[in-house]
Amino acid sequence: MRVAERTTHDAGAPAGVPTEPAVHTATRPYRRRGVNREGLEAGRRSTRTLLWVLLAAAMVLYGFPFLYLLFTSFKTPIDTIAVPPTILPREWTLENYTNALGRSGVLASFINSVQTAIISTVLSLVLAVPAAYGITRYKTLSGRIFIMAALVTRMVPPVAIGIPLASMMASLGLADTPVALSIAHTTISLPLSIWLMSSFFEAVPNDLEEAATVDGCSRLGALWRVVIPVVSGGIAVTAIFAFLASWNEFLFALLMTAIRSQTTPVVIANFQTQFGLDWGSMTALAAVYSIPVILLTLLLQRKIVAGMTLGAVKG
Amino acid sequence: MRISDRRFALFLMTPAALFLAVFVAFPLFRLVADSFFKISPIAGGPRDFVGLDNYFRAFASEAFTGAGWRTLAYTLVVVTLEFALGLGMALLFTALGRSSQIWRTVFMYPLMIAPIVAGLLWKFLMIDNFGLIGTLLHQAGVLSNPNQIGWLSDPGIVLFSVAIPDIWLTTSFMCLVLFAGLQNIPGDLIEAARLDGARAPALLFRIILPLLRPVIAVALVVRGIDAARAFDTILIQTNGGPQSASETMSLLIYRTMIRFGDPGLASAMGTLYLLAMLAVAFVAVSTIWRPGKDS
């Protein structure tokens, strides 16, 4: 069944990942109580209304914390810590934003975050794509051992390797540079990227590069010219995850950066100690840092869902 | 002549393997090596071999055993609540079918937020005096005084309070994974059970959960390992306090290394922590994950 599924799915949605419309139409529509609902989907109108109310309540509760962060960022600095607090600002102002962004080092930290995340994403892809291809296409013993080892490195607590890694970077002359931090971030994203890319390569039929090699392509040429274009969707998903892993990472950034290469999460955390409790600026900076990636999620949600659920439903 | 497939596969894997060897395996080796030395925190300071002394000191210290138990409790709380909430939401989305799709996307948004931001946000909601949660509960008449519950200042409950951002951040992940699993349950099976008169609880416990077992297992393991390594959210909320009541293993190792300047002891703790995680990982990977297996 999985083989059939593989050939019918396009490579952007690998085998085993239920892109739900396909699953819904694949199972036979079942008619019950005159309503065209099937399986676990609720049929009765009253039940559905109740469920929608429940969903609305859950969404409000779940969404509220971040909305409160946004509202707070528009309060005046004094209202930010008013007792008792209000949900909406009494007076809408951008003061917190100008304070936060005007502080020295904040804009530089944004540039550092972007730089580090991009270098780390590229590094992860350059290493993970060939490795994952080698693992899935040739199924050698070394490949099996390697993917196990890569998964085990995912279990390593960053705090355990952070300090030795930092001193290694210092002896390489890379202390406090975006390159050093992006290498550290790649230790997190590389195992994840190999895992994701392996699943995407599994979805590519073998015949594809066999045809290419028969036509006189070298194996490397077949990978580069035939297979990689087919899995470009998967590469995009992997890139998003590698980017997010670096963008949101804090512990390595804390251990390995001083002033020059500090990323924004460290700056946000430092607001707490360095300037007393400046909640207003902190909420503004947190909002500015989070909103681009939240928008990215909304834009690319299908791809991200595929990536998230990939490993778990595969086995 | 063409090189063999096996050589070619090895050639493709070598760069990634070298990277992981240099930047993960080697630092780990350094960590384990350091655990046998008494090291001065000052660069270039003395470095004396002390055998297993650091390990004895770790086990003898109440901070270490306490942090071990707290890490376990924290992980259990996070994973249990996330699973219950995630399953509830996944069932809700499934019951509503395709019309709920847009809300599923919106429900995902915390996954993109940095843990440090989530910790900060929840600290702001739970903090004494100007925290919103205490105030709202007071206005609703649940609490007689907005500061009645010291979410982050009462050592008795702080370990649960610091878990909230973690739960908030990743319930979406649990929900997504379980939702994907639910879509793979054949509708006919559910219909047949319904026709046999199965009610909702029986449907859930006798059919849905057993069928989801592999998906549930993977989701719990992935999240369990992440929760056991939690650092950012706790650091920014309480820094392990009050009275070390929220000091989990990551925080203890970090503080032993940086604040108390005892790299030898911290390395021994890190090694033990790592061994515990690897033991869990090994059991998990060998029983459920089986990546790259021939299908």
The model's pLDDT over B26-55, given as tens digits with 9 standing for 90+, comes to 999 999 998 999 888 776 677 888 889 999
CB contact (8 A) between residue A283 and residue B12:
no
- Residue-level pLDDT at A18: 41
The DSSP element (H or E) to which A311 belongs, if any, is helix A301-314
- Which pair of tokens denotes residue A82? 């008013």
Averaged over A31-43, what is the pLDDT?
58
pLDDT digits (tens, 9 = 90+) for A75-89: 988 888 777 888 888
Give the residue among A235, A243, A195, A279 at the shortest CA–CA distance from B123: A279
**Assign residue A204 a region: left if phi > 0, alpha if psi is -120 to 50, beta otherwise?**
beta
Which residues in A52-80 are b (16+ Cβ under 10 Å) and which e?
beebeebeeebeebbebbebbbbbeeebb
CATH of the domain at A180: 1.10.3720.10
Examine the pLDDT at B293 and tell me if it is beyond 90: no
Burial string for B256-284 (b: 16+ CB within 10 Å, else e) reads: bbbeeebbbbbbbbbbbbbebbeebbeeb
Residue B2 binned pLDDT confidence (cut-offs 50, 70, 90): low
Is residue A167 included in any domain, yes or no? Answer: yes
Reported as a pLDDT band with limits 50, 70 and 90, residue A221 is confident
- The three-state secondary structure class of B117 is helix
The domain boundary residue, chosen from A20, A50, A66: A66
A82-91, A110-119, B67-76: segment of lowest average pLDDT = A82-91
- Residue A186 inside a domain? The answer is yes
Cα A248 from Cα B46, distance rounded (Å): 37
Contacts of A66 in chain B (CB under 8 A): 109-110, 113, 121
C-beta of residue A243 within 8 angstroms of C-beta of residue A121 = yes
Write B52-59 long-range contacts (CB < 8 A, 24+).
Answer: B54/B264, B54/B265, B54/B267, B54/B268, B55/B268, B55/B272, B57/B265, B57/B268, B58/B265, B58/B268, B58/B269, B58/B272
Whether A9 maps to a domain, the answer reads: yes
Chain B nearest-CA distance from A111, in A, is 17
- How many structural domains are present in chain A? 2
User: Which one of A49, A66, A83 terminates a domain?
Assistant: A66
Q: Can you give the residue range of the structural domain that contains A204?
A: 96-308
pLDDT digits (tens, 9 = 90+) for B64-73: 999 999 999 9
Q: How crowded is residue A274: how many other Cβ atoms within 10 Å of its Cβ? A: 10
Are A137 and A275 contained in the same domain?
yes
Pair A106, A44 in one domain = no
Residue A76: inside a domain: no
Q: Would the CB atoms of A135 and B292 count as touching at under 8 Å? A: yes
Q: Of A47, A66, A85, at which residue does a domain stop?
A: A66
The pLDDT value recorded for residue A24 is 40
Each residue's pLDDT tens digit, B103-121: 888 888 888 899 999 999 9
Is A155 close to B249, i.e. CB distance below 8 A? no
Name, in order, each residue with C-beta under 8 angstroms of B96's C-beta and a sequence gap of 6 or more.
Answer: A41, A42, A48, A51, A52, A55
Instruction: Flag whether A72 is in a domain.
Output: no
In this structure, of A16-20, A138-142, A156-160, A239-243, the range with the lowest mean pLDDT score is A16-20
Q: Does A34 touch chain B (CB under 8 A)?
A: no
pLDDT tens-digit map of B257-289 = 888 888 899 999 999 998 998 888 677 766 665
A59 with A118, same domain: the answer is: no
Q: Token pair of B239, please?
A: 């820094």
Nearest to A313 among B184, B257, B278 (CB): B184
CB contact under 8 A, A272 and B277: no
| B201: preceding bond cis by omega (within 30 degrees) | no
Going by C-beta distance under 8 Å and a sequence separation of 6 or more, which residues neighbour residue B232? A250, A251, A265, B114, B115, B116, B119
The reply to whether A267 and A120 lie within a common domain is yes
Query: Which of B109, B137, B138 to mutate to test binding with chain A, by most A CBs within 10 Å of its CB?
Result: B109
Is residue A185 domain-shared with residue A294, that is, in the same domain?
yes
A165 and A17 together in one domain: no
pLDDT for A30 equals 43
> Is the domain of A116 the same as that of A20?
no
Same domain membership, residue A101 and residue A29: no
Q: Of the candidates A155, A158, A198, which has its C-beta nearest B278's C-beta? A: A155
- Give the pLDDT confidence score for residue A37 in this predicted structure: 56
State residue B49 phi and psi, 5-degree precision.
-70, 130
Q: Tell me whether residue A88 is in a domain.
A: no
Asked whether the predicted pLDDT for residue B234 surpasses 80, the reply is: yes
Please indicate, yes or no, whether the overall pTM of this predicted structure exceeds 0.90.
no
Q: Are residues A102 and A48 in the same domain?
A: no
Q: What is the pLDDT of residue A219?
A: 82
* A78 falls within a domain: no
Q: In whole angstroms, give the CA distance from residue B222 to residue B219.
A: 5
Q: How many CB pairs under 8 A join A and B?
A: 334
| Model confidence at B100: pLDDT above 80 | yes
B84 Cβ contact partners less than 8 Å away, ≥ 6 residues apart: none
Q: CB neighbours of B220 closer than 8 A, spacing ≥ 6?
A: B79, B83
- What is residue A126's predicted lDDT score, i.e. its pLDDT? 96
Identify all chain B residues contacting A168, using CB atoms and an 8 Å cutoff.
23, 26-27, 30
Strand partners, A32: A35
Same domain, A54 and A168: no
Shared domain for A183 and A303, answered yes or no, is yes
Rounded Cα distance, A53 and B163, in Å: 27
Nearest one of B109, B82, B57, B260 to B164, comparing CA atoms? B82
**In a domain? residue A21:** yes
Q: For residues A113 and A251, state if they share a domain.
A: yes
Q: Is A94 exposed, middle or buried (0-12, 13-18, 19+ CB in 10 A)?
A: exposed
Instruction: Please answer yes or no on whether B114 and A42 come within 8 Å at the CB atom.
Output: no
Helix (H, G, I), strand (E, B) or coil at B70: helix
Q: Cβ–Cβ contacts within 10 Å for residue B99, how many?
A: 10
Residue A259 in tokens: 């002033």
